Amino acid sequence: MPNKGTIIKSGISGMVLVVLLFFVMSPKVSTSYAPVPKLKTQCPPGFKKNKNNECMAINLYQQYDSPHDNGVGGLQTGLPEIRDGFSPQEIDLGRYLFFDPVLSGNQTISCATCHDPGKGFSDGMATSTGMNGEKGTRSAPTLWNVGYLKKLFWDGRSKSLEDQMQEPLFAHNEMDNTPENLLQSLNAIENYRSLFAEAYPERPKAQAIALDEIYTALAGFQASLVSLNSRYDQYAHGYHDALTLNEIEGLNVFRSFVARCAECHTPPLFTNQQFAVIGTPEPNGLPLDPGAQVPFQDSTLRGAFKVPSLRNIAKTAPYMHSGRFETLREAVEFYTKGRGHAVPEGEDLIIHWHIWEPDLSDTELDRLVDFLKTLTDESFTPQIPEQLPSGLEPAL
Q: Is 305 in the site for ligand HEC (CB under 6 A)?
A: yes
Site string for ligand HEC, 255-294 (x = CB under 6 A): ----xxx-xxx----------x-x-x--------------
Q: How far is CA 2 from CA 7, 9, 10, 16, 18, in A?
A: 7, 11, 10, 20, 22
392 in Cβ contact with 185 (< 8 Å): no
Measured between alpha carbons, how far is 87 from 113 in angstroms, rounded to an integer?
25
Measured between alpha carbons, how far is 77 from 66 in angstroms, rounded to an integer?
5
Measured between alpha carbons, how far is 161 from 140 in angstroms, rounded to an integer?
15
Q: Which of 324, 363, 317, 368 is nearest to 342 (CA)?
A: 324
CB of 193 to ligand HEC, least distance (A): 20
Q: Is 143 in the site for ligand HEC (CB under 6 A)?
A: yes
Q: How far is CA 219 from CA 17, 83, 225, 392, in A?
A: 47, 9, 10, 22
Task: Give the one residue of 73, 120, 141, 250 binding ligand HEC; rule: CB under 6 A.
Answer: 141
CB of 307 to ligand HEC, least distance (A): 4
Task: Give the one residue of 128, 191, 230, 273 binding ligand HEC; rule: CB under 6 A.
Answer: 128
Q: Which residues in 199-218 contact ligand HEC (CB under 6 A)?
A: 218
Q: Is 251 in the site for ligand HEC (CB under 6 A)?
A: no
105 in Cβ contact with 178 (< 8 Å): yes
Give the 3-state secondary structure of residue 304. Answer: strand
Residues 114, 372, 320, 109: what is their CA dihedral angle, to the nearest 10 degrees? 0
Task: Give the one residue of 119, 138, 302, 315 binding ligand HEC; rule: CB under 6 A.
Answer: 138
Q: Is 320 in the site for ligand HEC (CB under 6 A)?
A: yes
Site string for ligand HEC, 94-113 (x = CB under 6 A): ---------------x-x-x
Site string for ligand HEC, 21-60 (x = CB under 6 A): ----------------------------------------
CB of 206 to ligand HEC, least distance (A): 26
Give me the half-sphere count of Cα atoms (radius 13 Å) on the Cβ side of residue 253: 23
Among residues 195 and 219, whose Cβ is nearest to ligand HEC? 219
Binding part of the chain for ligand HEC, among 58-66, 71-79, 319-327, 378-386 by CB under 6 A, reads 319-327
**Are β-strands 304-306 and 275-277 bridged in parallel, bridged antiparallel, or unpaired?**
antiparallel
Q: Is 375 in the site for ligand HEC (CB under 6 A)?
A: no
Measured between alpha carbons, how far is 197 from 87 in angstroms, rounded to an integer?
13
Among residues 64 and 232, whose Cβ is nearest to ligand HEC? 232
CB of 150 to ligand HEC, least distance (A): 10
Task: Give the one residue of 153, 192, 196, 200 binding ligand HEC; rule: CB under 6 A.
Answer: 153
Give the 3-state secondary structure of residue 305. Answer: strand
Task: Give the one residue of 68, 95, 115, 119 binding ligand HEC; rule: CB under 6 A.
Answer: 115
CB of 167 to ligand HEC, least distance (A): 8
CB atoms within 10 A of CB 258: 13
Among residues 64 and 352, whose Cβ is nearest to ligand HEC? 352
* Alpha-carbon dihedral sign for residues 308, 311, 316, 319: positive
Helices (H), the chain: 4-24, 27-31, 88-99, 111-114, 161-164, 166-170, 179-187, 190-199, 211-223, 231-236, 245-255, 261-264, 293-296, 328-333, 362-372
Q: How many residues sit close enough to ligand HEC to count as binding (CB under 6 A)?
A: 52
Among residues 89 and 127, whose Cβ is nearest to ligand HEC? 127
If you write DSSP's letter for every residue of 375-389 in order, what string do you get? Answer: G---TTPPPPPSS-T
Task: Give the one residue of 120, 168, 267, 391 binding ligand HEC; rule: CB under 6 A.
Answer: 168
Q: Is 331 in the site for ligand HEC (CB under 6 A)?
A: yes
Among residues 113 and 224, whose Cβ is nearest to ligand HEC? 113
Chain residues binding ligand HEC by CB under 6 A are 109, 111, 113-115, 128, 130, 136, 138, 140-141, 143, 146, 149, 152-154, 161, 164-165, 168-169, 174-175, 218, 222, 259-261, 263-265, 276, 278, 280, 305, 307-308, 310, 313, 316, 319-321, 328, 331-332, 335, 352, 354-355, 368
